[in-house]
Structure 1
Amino acid sequence: MSKYSYKRRLSRQVPIGNVSIGGRMPIALQSMTNTSTNDLSASVEQCIRIAEAGGDIVRLTAQGIREAANIGEIRQELRKRGYDIPLVADVHFNPKAAFASAEAGVDKVRINPGNFVDPGRTFIKLEYNDEEYAGELRKIEEAFVPFIDTCRRHNTAIRIGVNHGSLSDRIMSRYGDTPAGMVESAMEFLRVAVRHDFFNIVISIKASNVVIMVETVRRLVAAMEAEGMDFPIHLGVTEAGDGEDGRIKSAVGIGTLLSEGIGDTIRVSLSEAPENEIPVAKALVDYIAGFSETNGDSGFKSTSDFSPKRRISETAGNIGGSNPVVVISPLEVASVPEGVTLVTGSGKNPAADILDKVSRMDNEGKNVPVVACIAYDNLPKDEVKLRAATDFGRLLLSGLQDAIMIQSNSMTDDELYSLALNILQATRLRFSHTEYIACPGCGRTLFDLQSTLKAVREATGHLKNLKIGVMGCIVNGPGEMADADYGYVGAAAGHVSLYRGKECIRKNIPQSEAIEALVSFLKEEGVWQEP
Structure 2
Amino acid sequence: MSVRPWRDIVRRQSRQIMVGNVPVGGDAPVTVQTMTNTPTADAKATIDQIRRCEEVGVDIIRVSCPDVESTAAMKQIVRAARVPIVADIHFHYKRALEAADAGAACLRINPGNIGSSERVAEVVRAAKANGCSIRIGVNAGSLEKDLLEKYGEPCPEALVESALDHIKILQDHDFHEYKVAVKASDQFLAVAAYQQLAEAVDCPLHLGITEAGGARAGTVKSAIGIGSLLWFGIGDTIRVSLSAEPEEEVRVGFEILKALGIRNRGVRVVSCPSCARQGFDVIRTVQALEERLGHIRTPMSLSVLGCVVNGPGEARETDIGLTGGGNGKHMVYLSGVTDHHVQDADMIDHIVKLVEAKAAEIEAAAAAVPVAAE
| TM-score range for the pair, normalised by the shorter chain length | 0.5 to 0.7
Question: In 2 relative to 1, CA 171–99 (structure 1 residues): closer, same or farther, beyond 3 Å?
Answer: farther
- TM-superposition CA deviations, 1:140-180 (whole Å, max 9, x none): x4442331121111111101001110112133223442221
Supply the AA of the counterpart residue of 2:128: R
Q: CA deviation at 1:181?
A: 1.4
Supply the AA of the counterpart residue of 2:100: A
Aligned position for 1:193: 170
Supply the AA of the counterpart residue of 1:167: L
Q: Does 1:216 align with 2:214?
A: no
Q: Does 1:155 align with 2:131?
A: yes
Q: CA deviation at 1:66?
A: 2.4
**Matched length:** 271
Alignment of 1:357-506 (within 5 A): 378=272
Alignment of 1:220-369 (within 5 A): 220-224=197-201, 230-289=202-261
Q: CA deviation at 1:69?
A: 2.5
Mapped contact 1:114–1:168 kept (Cα < 8 A): no
- TM-superposition CA deviations, 1:99-130 (whole Å, max 9, x none): 2211221111101356333xxxxxxxxxxxxx
| TM-score (normalizing by structure 1) | 0.48
Tell me the SS of whatever aligns to 2:260: helix
Tell me the SS of whatever aligns to 1:272: coil
- TM-superposition CA deviations, 1:406-461 (whole Å, max 9, x none): xxx89xxxxxxxxxxxxxxxxxxxxxxxxxxxxxxxxxxxxxxxxxxxxxxxxxxx
- TM-superposition CA deviations, 1:221-264 (whole Å, max 9, x none): 1222xxxxx11011011111113211100101100000000000
Aligned position for 2:279: none
Alignment of 1:21-100 (within 5 A): 21-76=24-79, 78=80, 83-100=81-98
Q: CA deviation at 1:193?
A: 2.3
Question: In 2 relative to 1, CA 181–3 (structure 1 residues): closer, same or farther, beyond 3 Å?
Answer: farther
Q: CA deviation at 1:378?
A: 4.3
147, 153, 169: which one pairs with 2:145?
Answer: 169
Supply the AA of the counterpart residue of 2:143: L
Question: In 2 relative to 1, CA 31–3 (structure 1 residues): closer, same or farther, beyond 3 Å?
Answer: same
Q: CA deviation at 1:5?
A: 5.0
Question: In 2 relative to 1, CA 4–174 (structure 1 residues): closer, same or farther, beyond 3 Å?
Answer: farther
| TM-score (normalizing by structure 2) | 0.67
Aligned-residue RMSD, C-alpha: 2.8
- TM-superposition CA deviations, 1:48-82 (whole Å, max 9, x none): 00111110111111102321221222112x1xxxx
**Separation (CA, whole Å) in 2 of partners of 1:265 and 1:58:** 12
Mapped contact 1:114–1:162 kept (Cα < 8 A): no
Mapped contact 1:102–1:150 kept (Cα < 8 A): yes
Question: In 2 relative to 1, CA 41–214 (structure 1 residues): closer, same or farther, beyond 3 Å?
Answer: same
108, 113, 116: which one pairs with 1:115?
Answer: 113
Q: Which runs of 5+ in 2 are unaligned?
A: 265-269, 274-281, 284-304, 307-374
Mapped contact 2:41–2:72 kept (Cα < 8 A): no
Tell me the SS of whatever aligns to 2:203: coil
Q: Which runs of 5+ in 1 are unaligned?
A: 118-138, 225-229, 293-375, 382-408, 411-531
Mapped contact 1:89–1:110 kept (Cα < 8 A): yes
Identity %: 39
**Separation (CA, whole Å) in 1 of partners of 2:24 and 2:199:** 20
**Separation (CA, whole Å) in 2 of partners of 1:113 and 1:195:** 11
Question: In 2 relative to 1, CA 62–378 (structure 1 residues): closer, same or farther, beyond 3 Å?
Answer: same
